Amino acid sequence: MRLDKFLAHTGYGTRKSVKELIKGKKVTVNDLTIKDGKIHINPEKDVVSVSGKAISYQEYYYFMLHKPQGVISATEDKVHKTVIDLLDTNDQVSNPFPVGRLDKDTEGLLLLTNDGSLAHELLSPKKEVDKCYEAIIDGIVGGKEVEAFERSITLEDGFVCRPAKLSVLSTDLVEQKSSIQVVIHEGKFHQVKRMFEAVDKKVLYLKRLSMGPLVLDDELKIGHYRPLTVNEMKELKEFTK
Ligand code: URA
């Protein structure tokens, strides 16, 4: 891997600022001062230091994002703000991408990583990863809908969903709204909204609470993100093994 890319990956800023570090003779590889950022190094063997401090290389990054409404689950877009735009520049250099999609108006848990094989495992239809959502529904949701979800919902395009656990948290008879939680096992486009449409109901608000073993940290404010903890990483690796 190129030295300048390695330094950018490890959080030493843009290629331009990395160039300045190198020009300023701040960077050594195996104790040799380097003048050219284009040289190739082996991140696993070579000891790269900046201002005398050895730096360690991390190939993969994993961030938990509390996605806000109004941003799209993509890496770039000419018109809309993306979830990647919410990351600090230093955290963008490893080229993370969202694992799966949440609609523009959906909030909640989104994993961002540059680990393609972990993402593939989590998104694989064969894995049938549980996803738990909280929603506000227009109208009163009751036993009829709970049973329909339990039996299995057929979407308007004929896709038959796996039985889903729908729980009614509360109903507001005055406002004619229901607060629910639902656990689904697939990741079809607009799936939760379409499942409710299949029982003639409309989702007014949607938030993802969990995906497989990963649970949205309730201390994480909307629009904020953090690296996964060692424990979360362990559980995720175990789950996708
Ligand atoms: N289901 C939806 O309808 N939208 C989402 O963003 C996620 C699941």
pTM of the shown model: 0.85
| 4 is known as an active-site residue | no
Options 103, 130, 138, 217, the catalytic residue: 103
* Whole-number pLDDT of residue 121: 95
Report DSSP letters for 215-229, one per residue: E--TTS-TT-EEEPP
Per-residue pLDDT of the chain (241 residues; tens, 9 = 90+): 899 988 887 777 777 889 999 999 999 999 999 999 999 999 888 999 999 999 988 889 999 999 999 999 999 999 999 999 999 988 898 899 999 999 999 999 999 999 999 999 999 999 999 999 999 999 999 999 999 999 999 999 999 999 999 999 999 999 999 999 999 999 999 999 999 999 999 999 999 999 999 999 999 999 999 999 999 999 999 999 8
What's the token pair of residue 94? 């490893």
CB burial class (10 A; 0-12, 13-18, 19+) of residue 116?
Answer: exposed
Atom of ligand 1 nearest to the CA of 101: 6
Alpha helices in 48-198 (DSSP H): 89-92, 116-123, 143-151, 191-197
**Cβ-based neighbours of 77, under 8 Å, separated by 6 or more:** none
Domains of the chain from N-terminus onward? 3-54 (3.10.290.10), 62-125+214-239 (3.30.70.580), 130-211 (3.30.70.1560)
pLDDT at 43: 87
Cβ-proximal residues to 36 (8 Å cutoff; 6+ apart), any chain: 3, 22
Identify which of 65, 103, 110, 157 to mutate to test ligand 1's pocket (most ligand atoms within 8 A of the CB): 103
pLDDT of 56 reads 83
